[in-house]
Amino acid sequence: MVSPTARRALPSVDRVLRCPAAGALIEEYGRTLVVDNIRAALDEQRSRLADAGSASPDDASLVAAVAARLRAATAASLKPVFNLTGTVLHTNLGRALLPKAAAEAALAAMTRPVNLEFALDSGERGERDAHVETWLKRFTGAQAAMVVNNNAAAVYLVLNTLALRKEVLVSRGELIEIGGAFRIPDIMARAGCRLREVGTTNRTHAGDFAAAIGNRCAAIMKVHASNYAIQGYTAAVAEAELAKLARDHALPFVVDLGSGTLVDLEDFGLPHEPTPRQALAAGADLVTFSGDKLLGGPQCGLIVGTAALIERLKNNPLKRALRVDKITLAALEAVLRLYADPKRLQRELPTLRMLTRSPTEIEAQAHRLLPALSQALAGRVEAQVVACASQIGSGALPVDALPSTAIALTPRARKRGAAAAALAAAFRALPVPVLGRVKQGSLILDLRCLSGGSREEDEFVAQLAQLRLPAA
């Protein structure tokens, strides 16, 4: 219990509000938030007095405590971080970074009215997908194209439109699970169609598909193994062969590429990834893929294919529920414009720039940063430059790695695993959190995604002085 004397020593809410410093807080945060946090601070003080019998704080200390509470309560939850995990397209960190042109286009769309669904030439209602359809047709060879909010939504819309209450044939080896435990069979069930598994996990033949076609069959679907690989004694049916089988039975052939890219990555020294153009050239009627993975744009799902099928998708009432807003379209259009110039693309698209960084450049950066890190670690942690391998991430090219360089931070402690985890927490507590990966008792900071010789690198070094190492 709080003694009556101690209770009387605590100021009232009104008295605290009359402090000049409280007036400044009201100006910055608004009266409602300030009053709520004053009451919370007073309740906290009453608890402390009851537990420990400590002295009551003066008004200035109380206002300072309220100010700290307000700063914490109103701080942005979504904040920039340094991605030194070694995964370029990290799903948990927002996947692709947008180029400057896309950010500027998105800002303009956010702050001004735009002709989202207004045809300026005729003065009549327009179609929002038209702002990007021409570019998508150009880069894929499709007759038509459309955009929804992500690739899972694209697959959902296609299946619901083409195969409601009917069957879709999919190879058993392609029944993938994507991030967050979303599975192709679950999406198909929610779309209102019935999955018909074909073949076996490791081997599927054209005859398996042919034998499964019946009166209830509405489509044949091929799912690109974008986030796993089956190796060894395997067999899969080529897209061209499936496309012919689908045509012979008057069925649409759908290809889900998952990640998807609009350029041949081999031209940039990267592993091959199938493109929508290649799938359409092989005979696919519809191709779905993501906008925020290898394409390097905002989160969205892209659907390209025949004009007749795209029109059917647009007429599905679900299209309105799955459509994207003006901000996404503005950013996507700006990204697609970059693809018209491959040389400019590699320079200005962050995803491609990070994927194609020279190993020599990354290694030089590591040696450049090593002294600053060593100084911040004050001899309690060993820092050394090590070779490592980055991954593309977000299900793209899962078995392919990119040579990179990291700085390995190894605590000089007996329980290295726990010490490395504590060290990782200390780096996450920096003003701009630094995220690496803990491996075999060391914190590994892969530098592939840290822009070299830039303001970003300077910011990384400058905040190391605020690193608070865990107790030894």
Domains and CATH numbers, the chain: 4-74 (no CATH), 82-91+354-466 (3.90.1150.110), 100-348 (3.40.640.10)
Mean pLDDT of the chain: 91
More confident of the two residues 348 and 342: 348
pLDDT score recorded for residue 181: 60
CB atoms within 10 A of CB 23: 13
Check pLDDT > 90 for residue 343. no
- pLDDT at 290 (0 to 100): 95
What pLDDT score was predicted for residue 88? 96
- Please say if the pLDDT value at position 355 is more than 90: yes
Q: Exposed, middle or buried by CB within 10 Å (0-12, 13-18, 19+), for 120?
A: exposed
pLDDT of residue 56: 64
Flag whether pLDDT at 183 surpasses 90.
no
Q: What confidence tens digit (pLDDT) does each residue in 225-240 have?
A: 766 677 788 888 999 9
182 neighbors 152 (Cβ within 8 angstroms):
yes
How far apart CA 439 and CA 323 sit, in angstroms, is: 41
Higher pLDDT, 401 or 241: 241
Looking at residue 417, the DSSP 8-state letter turns out to be H
Q: How confident is the model at residue 267 (pLDDT cuts 50, 70, 90)?
A: very high
Q: Is the pLDDT of residue 360 over 90?
A: yes
pLDDT at 3: 53
Asked whether 99 and 296 are in contact (CB, 8 A), the reply is yes
What is the distance between the alpha carbons of residues 444 and 86, in angstroms, rounded to a whole number? 9
Average pLDDT of 199-228?
Answer: 90
Q: Please say whether the beta carbons of 128 and 323 come within 8 A.
A: yes
Mean pLDDT over residues 450-466, rounded? 92
pTM of the model: 0.90
